[in-house]
Structure 1
């Protein structure tokens, strides 16, 4: 299933990204890397009045890491980057929580995202990847995003939460509305969040009658500060796990598959040297980091000579940090045997992605399985690769033929 963001396509084209950046602009969507390089040479920080009441855009690794490590000055209680002013979307912990609440909420989630627990899902993820890769290989063509990468995290998250993977098309529709359409249409955003919360409320009610060992059962039976978690908090935690646990991972898997489709030498080397996959995977995460998150300035401050006032908004573009030439040698090249790679594709500071172990496991299995079944493939002649708009960047369609 593919989706079209009509609202984004009607937005005026950007003429100067330093003063008017927009992650919906076709140039940014299709190839943002030259834009980021050009901005670094012109200004310490970009700015746009298209979103919220104006949003700052840090452009280097050190500034982004410093901001991420200072939640007192840069609050995570934020409603995201939205066109036409801040739009209320609600509270989604732990990503939208600040200390001291953040630590206690995160602790309730950690048991389900520990390495040993994550490893227990390997066979489930592997079986899903095997079936999908084998089907594409036998058919001789397909879409590496629509037919493969977009399904792997849906199946994994559905199994972990204990919800029906057959609802995958609905999950993808909600994700599209929240992450791609939502930044430009507040009504669509709020309706999608309402529908996900309703869906999760029904699942929570079912677990109270018949608990299992899944993530939803864990939340409805756990406590925080000696008290059961309130339903509204659980609903919002589950919305975040569904949205953040799916789109980010399928974007990373899809970007890696796209890279290997258009870089024969890298693909053939990985097929010949499968032991290189873990290193290559980290490079794909760095080079095609998908996640941008928001911060709200809680107190007047200065970053890299730029004065920020309390109430200002900041877009934390981890992909920009991961391409910073001051931090990474040959930053705009994808070097699959890069030895030193301290990327922040999963964020930095206390809000670093709690699901990074799961994302790595899914990506490892997805790429290994694909290359074993489909060692030779390329972009289908005459077809178009499309990329997402909004705060998560990744390929939405990768039509391929098996060579």
Structure 2
């Protein structure tokens, strides 16, 4: 499963953790589109990788042919799965992260409970907090003239915003960040680590849910606990644990990776940075373009039956990677797909997914990106990535910079 041998043939043996692929996967997608648009590999438990926009769209909308019960991009070895199921806490804490990890009908009513909290109007309630947070973070390093733009800025914003949304202690942000990395990054190659921190997260949210059951209020968690399923039955508290798990897992790494990638782009593309300083009215279209170009998320699906696409039969039980980042570089859909065009007029990107599982939190993610980037540019308009060869990226499930050295004129 963890074979790290060099890739000889990307058509039949791709490696989503290959260092070159993590740093810049676009050349691989371009090659595959022209000769093998549905690639296959046995690495990391085996999977299929579509690279064309239309194919990714079609596969994402195949429900129930492609199940969302297994959303990670790697597969755990059978012995690890058996160990997990033998754990007495397995039934108590489960593995669901509804609605993203559920199929209909559970998907439908759990998503219905979440959506009111992530409407454009609802997320505006978090604007002031997010603005004050961005300013507070910049205050901490602006006098130094340098910063790790990933660790000290981008990674600090989404965990705190999510904590604010959930009504939990934001001072534990470093713990939340570590937990998420152990699920979506470090744990992909080490399933034992992933299982350990899945249990840590669920235990934490089980305690949150129990406290809110005992002391309900008008906040997010209590609202979910007061919900019902499609038959009017009270929601199982353990389902709420899973839904809170989703907010932490899906709402942190994805957005911090998008903010970090944007800072990397502007810190290495001087003309684009200067243009945004001169034309701040471009931010709405620029954010959409950055989301397209640096789409962070790849999701896993598991076929519940044989699936035919582009002449390829994907057998029942196979892992399929929803390659949204690759789809967003398809030249059949986007003119000059490998260029960032800040004022791109038509941008039907699928960075937030497609079909019924399209990201429910997209409005909040956009708000965080907008505030984080505008505030940075207002206060630090002149900056650059100081040591490009030392920038590190995470890949696989979520791609984004993890270390991003930036320098700028010192204020102090």
Contact 1:51 1:85 in 2 (8 A): no
C-alpha distance in 2, partners of 1:366/1:295? 32
Q: Secondary structure at the match of 2:43?
A: coil
The farther-off stretch of 181-190 and 286-295 is 181-190
Kindly state the Cα deviation for residue 207 of structure 1 after the two structures are TM-superposed. Answer: 1.4
Q: Which residue is equivalent to 2:87?
A: none
Q: Aligned partners of 1:304 and 1:79: how far apart in 2?
A: 23
> What SS class does the counterpart of residue 302 from structure 2 fall into?
strand
Separation in 1, partners of 2:388, 2:288:
31
Give the stretch that moved more between structures: 388-397 or 217-226. 217-226
CA contact (8 A) 1:44 1:306 kept: no
From 127, 133, 143, give the equivalent of 1:128. Answer: 133
Aligned to 2:89: none
Shift of 1:204: 1.2
Distance 1:274 1:123 in 2: 20
Do structure 1's residue 182 and structure 2's residue 175 form an aligned pair? no
Q: 2:351 aligns with which of 345, 351, 361?
A: 345
Name the structure 2 match of 1:46.
39
Q: For 1:12-23, what aligned pairs fall within 5 Å after superposition?
A: 12-23=5-16
RMSD across aligned C-alpha pairs, in angstroms?
1.7
Aligned to 1:143: 148
Q: Does the CA contact (< 8 Å) of 1:178 and 1:192 recur in 2?
A: yes
Q: Give SS of 1:354's match.
A: coil
Q: CA deviation at 1:68?
A: 1.0
- Report matched runs for 1:294-309 at 5 Å: 294-309=300-315
Q: What is the aligned partner in structure 1 of residue 364 from structure 2?
A: 358
Report matched runs for 1:232-271 at 5 Å: 232-271=238-277
1:51 alignment partner, SS class? helix
**Residue 212, structure 1, aligned to residue 217, structure 2:** yes
Unaligned runs of 5+ residues in structure 1 are 1-6
Deviations 1:195-232 (CA, angstroms, capped at 9, x unpaired) = 00011111112212322332222122222232222122
CA distance in 2, matches of 1:14, 1:160: 43
Question: 2-side partners of 1:363 and 1:324: how far apart?
Answer: 24
Measured against aligned partners, the alpha-carbon deviations of 1:104-160 in whole angstroms (never above 9, x if no partner) come to 111111121111111111000000001112333222110111000101111110000
Of 53, 71, 77, which aligns to 2:69?
77
Quick one: which of 49, 58, 61 aligns to 1:57?
49
Q: What is the CA distance between 1:34 and its match in structure 2? A: 1.1
Aligned residues of 1:83 and 1:184 also touching (Cα < 8 A): no
Cα distance in 1 for residues equivalent to 2:314 and 2:386: 47
Q: 5 Å matches for 1:282-321? A: 282-321=288-327
2:169 is matched with which residue? 164
Q: CA deviation at 1:83?
A: 4.9
Q: 2: CA distance between counterparts of 1:170 and 1:320?
A: 31
**Structure 1 position 382, deviation (Å):** 7.3
With over 3 angstroms needed to count, the CA separation of the structure-2 counterparts of 1:215 and 1:12, relative to structure 1, is farther
Runs of 4+ in structure 1 displaced over 6 angstroms?
none
Q: What stretches of structure 2 of length at least 5 have no aligned partner? A: 85-94
CA shift, 1:383, in A, is 6.0
Q: TM-score, normalised by structure 1?
A: 0.94
CA distance in 2, matches of 1:351, 1:293: 10
Give 1:298 shift: 1.6
The equivalent residue for 1:326 is 332
1:193 and 1:84 map into 2 onto residues whose CA distance is 14
Cα deviations across residues 335-392 of structure 1 (Å, max 9, x unaligned)? Answer: 1111110000000001000000000000000000000111011112476111013210
For 2:218 and 2:386, how far apart are their aligned partners in 1? 43
Within-5 A mapping of 1:23-34: 23-34=16-27
CA distance in 2, matches of 1:29, 1:120: 36
